[in-house]
Amino acid sequence: MNWADRQPVLVGVGQITQREADPRAAKGPLDLMAAAARAAAADSGVGDSLLAALDQLTVIRLFADTSPRFVSPFGKQTNPPLAVAQRIGAQAVRQHVYTWPGGNMPQYCLNRLGEAITGGTVDAALVVGAEALATQKAAQRQGVALDWSDDPGGSFDAWGVQRRGWSDLEDRHGARAAITMYPMFEHAIRGHLGRSVADHQAAIGNLLARFAAVAAANPLADRRGHYSAEQVATPAADNKFIAHPYTRLMSANAFIDQGAAFIVTSVAKARALGIAPDRWVYLHGCADAHDHWHVTERRDLHSSPAMQRVFAQAFDMAGCTLADIGTLDIYSCFASAVEVACDALGLAPDDPRGLTITGGLPYFGGPGNNYVTHSIAEMVQRLRARPGTKGLVTANGNYLTKHSAGIYSTAPPARPFAPADPAVLQAELDATIPRPPLVELADGAAQVESYTVSHDGKGPVNAVVIGRLADGSRFIANTPPDAALWDAMQTEDFLGRRGRVQNDGRINRFMPG
């Protein structure tokens, strides 16, 4: 075959949002995946014949297998890709893949599958994921026992990076979750922009209100209230702080029931199956890389060198620039992820093209590691409706750590699908991006680089500070458990605040002067 016949092409997409109030009648995650896969096959126009032709099947890792917070009490799924294959009659699958965690993984997997299709080792592949955390939570609250266990036997390959996203040092200071890390990025962004606490809170509200407006018009979105900027930014009984400066309406909404799938084949396979060319969407450009793995290792807390290079590499592969993009979906677990991506792209937060086509993770829904499967699916639909235009999907895993991007169009690429080797870019980033010296047990005069105050629904419970010692070394610390101090940290500007840091042999404590 010539290179055009081996070009990877998306031929079918499917999305499911479940709103079943009775947990006993609701689909579990594997059945949601099967439903999304069947929807993707139907979308191709050839239905079950496409499922029967699949030779590769990838399942995006469940949150139940990602975080202790989301572990299901309703049984273990031991081989999700084989379980999905059995449910949809995909008996020809030769490779079953279950990914490691990360919001970057749907785009990452498509990038790798594109290479496999071009190389002739895969002809037709399904990527699918789903979460049923709303049903799980409802069943637990109602005392309903469900059985989601599934053990089909067999084995699977694992794609991605197994390594956890936080260090032991960060863990000891209560900084192991996204809702601790992203607020610290947010305060650092505020400092970089020179804004007051109040002005920046209003700016976040304005940014996310535009996402909420898109969700309000999307029947698949979970939160469809047309939230105003003031509603988003202002703490209230139904919009409490989770970790300053983030309220509930500023945070990814994980407790949803959503599934999505896309099917990618070679052009030759699509033609052989009789899939009409008006269903085809090509991946023109893509790239993957990660920043220094732990947040306390980063060059700074307001930018992402790896993200910038990933975007540049994807545009280079696609032979276009941001000006050529008609439709965008920027990964949006928290506002800081959007702001850092906009900075890396040179994109205004109020760009008239809009920054989301779904409504984003706080409003459309944050289905675990699988959100980008939804954004890819939605992008395919948007580009089919505007043939020849280009769309950009960005993806982010862990804590602004792992980055992936894809540039899409219905127009065939002018050159073979040939992404740059991610290992080459990664080696360059590792070697050239500086890391500040990190002191595990800190003592002495200190200054705040960023911070957050965590809440438990009743009020503040902890504060985390990342700061610098007089010699420029970085440290992470907690503050003393002082309610008045925590209140001050949420109303005053603590960036650059001077004080002292001490340790007890395990935990650092920062005390403002």
Determine how many CB atoms are found less than 10 A away from the CB of residue 176. Answer: 17
Q: How far is CA 126 from the centre of its chain?
A: 19
- pLDDT tens digit string along 413-472? 999 999 999 999 999 999 999 999 999 999 999 999 999 999 998 999 999 999 999 999
Indicate the pLDDT class of residue 363, thresholds 50, 70 and 90. Answer: very high
Tell me the two tokens of residue 300: 């700074």
Helix (H, G, I), strand (E, B) or coil at 49: helix
| Placement of tokens 């000006």 in the chain | 323
pLDDT for the residue numbered 318:
98
- What does the domain layout of the chain look like in residue ranges? 8-165+253-432, 176-250, 444-512
Segment 168-177 mean pLDDT: 97
pLDDT at 1 over 90: no
pLDDT for the residue numbered 268:
98
Cross-strand partners of 407:
285, 392
* DSSP code at position 68: G
Helix (H, G, I), strand (E, B) or coil at 10: strand
pLDDT for the residue numbered 513:
92
Helix (H, G, I), strand (E, B) or coil at 56: strand
End-to-end CA distance of the chain: 71
Q: Kind of pairing, strands 390-397 and 402-409?
A: antiparallel
Query: What distance in Å separates the CA atoms of residue 116 and residue 138, rounded to the nearest whole number?
Result: 41
- pLDDT tens digit string along 118-164? 999 999 999 999 999 999 999 999 999 999 999 999 999 999 999 99
User: pLDDT over 70 for what percent of the chain?
Assistant: 100
Segment 223-246 mean pLDDT: 97
Superfamily of domain 8-165+253-432: Thiolase/Chalcone synthase (3.40.47.10)
* pTM for the whole structure: 0.97
Looking at 2.60.40.2130, 3.40.50.150, 2.40.50.840, 3.30.565.10, the CATH number of the domain 444-512 comes to: 2.40.50.840
- pLDDT tens digit string along 278-314? 999 999 999 999 999 999 999 999 999 999 999 999 9
Segment 236-261 mean pLDDT: 97
Dihedral sign (CA 452, 209, 291, 259): positive
Strand order from edge to edge, sheet including 8-17 = 157-159, 95-99, 56-59, 124-132, 257-266, 8-17, 281-290, 402-409, 390-397, 325-329
| Mean residue pLDDT across the chain | 97
